[in-house]
């Protein structure tokens, strides 16, 4: 994946570098500058060079993904932010720890991402690669699209299970990530300042999709598969949903009407 990773432009991403100990309300410290550091009253919080590289990547991907969704949906899309945090953070959906994994919070309409999750993706799930990380961001921003369009309503409070509304919603978010993957595969995008995928990048994403299917996660955790507890879909379903978006590049393939349709 090629990206120019411009630093500090656009303000799409905010890095809340946190520590367990302080108990500060970090959200109130966040600003619009896409900063790689956040200060609190105790002074600036140090980030490692690897984390800063991560911040730049997430920033670039979040901007690119949102450009795509905006292009497809016009005024129906409203840009949001990805909050990258370390250890723990408070969101409108409650407090999150690294163990929570990436999530979208409808309450404040932001995506929350723990810097350590990408290491997890590589080590624990065996799904390395920058595009695997981009896929996760595309998926979470896909939930933002669903929220803006009111598509998440029907899954609220619904039961889990292989054919549940919540699984359908997760698979749709995978499909939306795929639509971005399609757009980002067009050549000439890198020259134009966007992200351009290399051949083989899609394999990274598909590997990630199959690594984080409910069946695989459950098997890793409990040694068996329990379809009645599914909330995200199986690995095969997730790969298929992502592929539907990736091959078509069309939101309608994900069940979402585009402008004028
Ligand atoms: Zn999801």
Q: What is the pLDDT of residue 32?
A: 35
Q: What is the pLDDT of residue 134?
A: 86
Least Cα distance to 151 among 181, 176, 134 occurs for 176
pTM of the model: 0.76
Ligand 1 center to residue 174 CA distance, Å? 8
Ligand 1 center to residue 143 CA distance, Å? 7
Query: Are the beta carbons of 174 and 205 closer than 8 angstroms?
Result: no
Ligand 1 center to residue 162 CA distance, Å? 15
Alpha helices in the chain (DSSP H): 49-73, 117-123, 130-148, 165-184, 201-211, 214-222, 235-248
Query: Are the beta carbons of 95 and 34 closer than 8 angstroms?
Result: no
pLDDT in tens, the chain (261 residues): 666 543 332 222 333 333 222 333 333 333 333 333 333 333 445 677 777 777 888 888 999 999 999 999 999 999 999 988 877 788 888 877 766 678 888 889 998 888 777 777 677 666 667 777 888 899 999 999 999 999 888 776 666 666 778 888 889 999 999 999 999 888 888 888 888 887 777 777 777 777 766 666 666 666 666 676 667 778 888 888 989 999 999 999 999 986 554
Ligand 1 center to residue 170 CA distance, Å? 5
Question: What is the C-alpha separation between 10 and 70, in angstroms, rounded?
Answer: 15
Ligand 1 center to residue 58 CA distance, Å? 17
Ligand 1 center to residue 103 CA distance, Å? 7
Ligand 1 center to residue 159 CA distance, Å? 16
Ligand 1 center to residue 63 CA distance, Å? 19
Ligand 1 center to residue 44 CA distance, Å? 32
CA angle 164, 165, 171 (to 5 degrees): 95
CA angle 33, 181, 252 (to 5 degrees): 105
Q: What is the pLDDT of residue 176?
A: 95
Ligand 1 center to residue 35 CA distance, Å? 26
């Amino acid at each position: 994946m090629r990206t120019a990773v411009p630093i500090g432009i656009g303000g799409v991403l905010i890095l809340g570098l946190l520590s367990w100990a302080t108990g500060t309300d970090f959200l109130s410290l966040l600003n619009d500058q896409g900063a790689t550091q956040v200060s609190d009253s105790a002074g600036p919080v140090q980030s490692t060079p690897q984390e800063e590289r991560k911040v730049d990547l997430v920033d670039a991907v979040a901007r690119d993904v949102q450009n795509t969704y905006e292009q497809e949906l016009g005024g129906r899309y409203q840009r949001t932010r990805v909050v990258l945090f370390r250890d723990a953070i408070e969101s409108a959906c409650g407090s999150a720890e690294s163990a929570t994994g990436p999530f979208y919070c409808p309450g404040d309409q932001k995506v929350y991402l723990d810097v350590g999750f990408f290491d997890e993706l590589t080590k624990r799930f065996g799904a390395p690669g920058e595009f695997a990380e981009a896929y996760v961001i595309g998926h979470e921003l896909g939930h933002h699209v669903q929220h803006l369009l009111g598509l998440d309503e029907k899954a609220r409070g619904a039961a889990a299970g292989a054919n549940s509304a919540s699984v359908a919603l997760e698979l749709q978010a995978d499909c939306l990530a795929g639509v971005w993957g399609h757009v980002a595969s067009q050549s000439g995008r890198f020259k134009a300042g966007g992200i351009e995928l290399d051949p083989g990048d899609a394999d990274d994403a598909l590997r990630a999709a199959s690594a984080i299917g409910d069946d695989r996660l459950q098997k890793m955790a409990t040694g068996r598969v329990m379809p009645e507890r599914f909330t995200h879909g199986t690995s095969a379903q997730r790969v298929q949903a992502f592929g539907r978006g990736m091959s078509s590049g069309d939101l309608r393939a994900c069940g979402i009407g585009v402008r004028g349709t």
